[in-house]
């Protein structure tokens, strides 16, 4: 089996080098590509952005699982349809019921993915809540009757149909909400016995959530988190499975909040109480337009779209990408849901790329049912290069060997670090790269290489990609 892996690695490198040497009629060329395809699926495309010439064509129209390369299509469409400087504005209203002399707080969700996030000072929970308290005190409000949550903007099905069960309840699979809060993430703390193979215990959740957890996690000699949370908002009983290191009194994993608006309201109520404003009523759902005579208290703005997309592409953050996906639907006058967003994104690229073959089921690439080819990607990169938002877009990409998801690419190769900016995408059996490559002589290339169904380790496949990009850069 080891010899088989070595043979595949050699064939992959040899085939890619042959492809980059521009000898499509070389004797045996197609045979080598067929050999590679027996041990893994590869789609590669390189386009000279000055001349439009296709430098590499290697199964370039083969549709493969793109993983997080999907975020390139989503973020580029967001720049064009929503705008670089766009900011989400969550509104907090004070409503007075004059007949009963009661005042309630209404929160209108607009799909801001950053509300309560710790990534920026102005989005943190403390900053947001202190704003609300200050305005309530200015209006001499000392008692709040109800907190009314308007999250109807995302009123469709909560979760996409084309997503793996194990992804739904874990932080990286958190679904968008009109009132997303703290990146829809909670922390589950476990303790593990010293003995290997023994069942662990659930200690706590932060913030607290109304779910009962059954623990099947085992203590392990492996010093990493291999535990997964399983459940969905309509289930009362969730479970945790997998393994964590043995002998830990406190080991934390992250899950997807089942009810982000409720968590927001619960945290806000506690904060108000601690700052001299009591709450006598309840937390309930409502639509802001139904409350006449309301007064705008606070309009909380998110960071700019440009800043949000930097997190999407550099950190490969699924939740933010799927929020953009929904916002793309809204920007086109459609209701925000998975189906509409898929239609809008599909239509956007169908109109801009001839013979576009991509299929989208989400905006993040977490769905294993998304499909497109390396040629689709390089054509999209060339389109973006000619757009007015090109520089803003490129500034959101990772730099090979330096930051984001490309930090481990080229980091030890002399003169190559920084020559490639782009995005990676990976999941089980999938490792893909795309972006802009600058050659030794200054030529600019749009590049995509997708490898699916491989048998080697991720580090070995990453090395093959590194060598491929090096050949494109050095052998023009």
Secondary structure (H, E, C), 162-191: CCCHHHHCEHHHCCCCCCCCHHHEEEEEEE
pLDDT attached to residue 1: 40
Nearest one of 237, 245, 236 to 190, comparing CA atoms: 245
Question: What is the DSSP code string of 257-280?
Answer: -S-HHHHHHHHHHHHHHHTT-EE-
* pLDDT for res 458: 84
Report pLDDT for 411.
66
Residue 439's Cβ-side half-sphere holds a number of Cα atoms within 13 Å equal to 21
pLDDT for the residue 194:
97
**pLDDT reported for residue 37:** 53
Q: Residue 29: what pLDDT?
A: 27
d(CA 75, CA 328): 10
What number of CA atoms fall less than 13 Å from residue 258's CA on the CB side?
17
pLDDT tens by residue, the chain, 476 residues? 434 333 343 444 334 434 444 444 333 223 433 444 556 788 999 999 999 999 888 889 999 999 999 999 999 999 999 999 999 999 999 999 876 678 999 999 999 999 999 999 999 999 999 999 999 999 999 999 999 999 999 977 778 889 999 999 999 999 999 999 999 999 999 999 999 999 999 999 999 999 999 999 999 998 888 999 999 999 999 999 999 999 999 999 999 999 999 999 999 999 999 999 999 999 999 999 999 989 999 999 999 999 999 999 999 999 999 999 999 999 999 999 999 999 999 999 999 999 999 999 999 999 999 999 999 999 999 999 999 999 999 999 999 988 888 888 876 666 677 899 999 999 999 999 999 999 888 899 999 999 999 888 888 888 777 877 887 787 65
- Which pLDDT score, from 0 to 100, does residue 134 have? 95
Return d(Cα 459, Cα 65) in angstroms, integer: 19
Q: What pLDDT was estimated at residue 282?
A: 94
Query: What are phi and psi for residue 47, nearest 5 degrees?
Result: -120, 130
Residue 335's CB: how many other CB atoms inside 10 A?
14
pLDDT number for residue 328: 97
| Residue 39 to residue 43: CA distance in whole angstroms | 13
Count of beta carbons in the 10 Å neighbourhood of residue 271: 17
Distance, in Å, from the CA atom of 256 to the CA atom of 330, rounded to the nearest integer, reads 24
d(CA 434, CA 422): 6
- Residue 407: the pLDDT is 86
Residue 341 backbone class (left: φ over 0; alpha: ψ -120 to 50; beta: rest): alpha
* pLDDT, tens digit (0-9, with 9 covering 90-100), for 55-72: 888 889 999 999 999 999
| pLDDT number for residue 58 | 85
Strands 102-108 and 218-220: unpaired
Supply the pLDDT for residue 327: 98
The pLDDT of residue 38: 53
Note the pTM of the prediction, 2 decimals: 0.91
Closest CA to 301 of 79, 90, 111, 94: 90
Predicted pLDDT of residue 62: 94
Pick the closest to residue 151 from 231, 279, 263, 75 (CA basis): 263
What string of DSSP letters covers 361-393? Answer: S-SSS-STT-BB-HHHHHHHHHHHHTSTTHHHH
């Amino acid at each position: 089996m080891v010899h088989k892996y070595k043979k595949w690695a050699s064939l992959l490198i040899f085939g890619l080098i042959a492809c980059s040497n521009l000898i499509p009629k070389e004797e045996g060329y197609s045979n080598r590509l067929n050999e590679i395809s027996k041990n893994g699926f590869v789609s590669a495309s390189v386009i000279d952005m000055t001349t439009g010439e296709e430098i590499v064509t290697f199964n370039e129209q083969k549709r493969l699982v793109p993983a997080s390369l999907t975020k390139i299509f989503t973020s580029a469409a967001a720049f064009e349809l929503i705008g670089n400087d766009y900011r989400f504005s969550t509104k907090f209203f004070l409503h007075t019921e004059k007949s009963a002399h009661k005042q309630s707080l209404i929160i209108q969700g607009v799909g801001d993915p950053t509300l309560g996030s710790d990534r920026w000072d102005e989005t943190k929970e403390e900053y947001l809540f202190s704003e609300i308290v200050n305005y309530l005190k200015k209006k001499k409000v000392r008692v709040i009757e109800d907190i009314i949550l308007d999250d109807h903007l995302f009123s469709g099905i909560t979760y996409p149909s084309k997503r793996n069960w194990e992804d739904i309840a874990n932080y990286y699979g958190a679904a968008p909400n009109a009132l997303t809060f703290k990146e829809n993430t909670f922390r589950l703390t476990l303790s593990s016995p010293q003995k290997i193979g023994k069942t662990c215990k659930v200690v706590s959740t932060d913030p607290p959530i109304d779910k009962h957890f059954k623990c099947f996690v085992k203590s392990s000699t492996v010093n990493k988190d291999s535990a997964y949370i399983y459940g969905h908002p309509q289930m009362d009983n969730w479970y945790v499975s997998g393994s964590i290191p043995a002998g830990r009194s406190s080991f934390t994993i992250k899950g997807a909040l089942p009810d982000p608006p409720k968590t927001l309201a619960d945290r806000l109520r506690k904060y108000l109480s601690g700052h001299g404003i009591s709450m006598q009523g309840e937390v309930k759902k409502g639509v802001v337009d139904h409350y006449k005579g309301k007064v705008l208290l606070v309009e909380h703005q998110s960071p700019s779209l440009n800043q949000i997309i930097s997190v999407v592409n550099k950190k490969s953050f699924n939740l933010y990408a799927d929020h953009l996906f929904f916002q793309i639907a809204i920007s086109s006058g459609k209701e925000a849901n998975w189906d509409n967003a898929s239609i809008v994104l599909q239509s956007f690229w169908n109109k801009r790329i001839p013979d576009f073959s991509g299929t989208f089921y989400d905006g993040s690439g977490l769905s294993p049912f998304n499909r497109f080819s390396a040629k689709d990607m390089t054509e999209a990169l060339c389109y973006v290069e000619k757009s007015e938002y090109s520089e803003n877009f490129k500034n959101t990409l990772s730099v090979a060997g330096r930051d984001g998801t490309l930090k481990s690419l080229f980091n030890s190769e002399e003169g190559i670090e920084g020559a490639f900016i782009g995005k990676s995408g990976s999941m089980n059996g999938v490792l893909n790269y795309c972006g802009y490559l600058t050659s030794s002589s200054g030529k600019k290339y749009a590049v995509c290489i997708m490898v699916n169904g491989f048998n080697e380790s991720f580090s070995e496949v990453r090395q093959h990609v590194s060598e491929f990009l090096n050949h494109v850069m050095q052998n023009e």
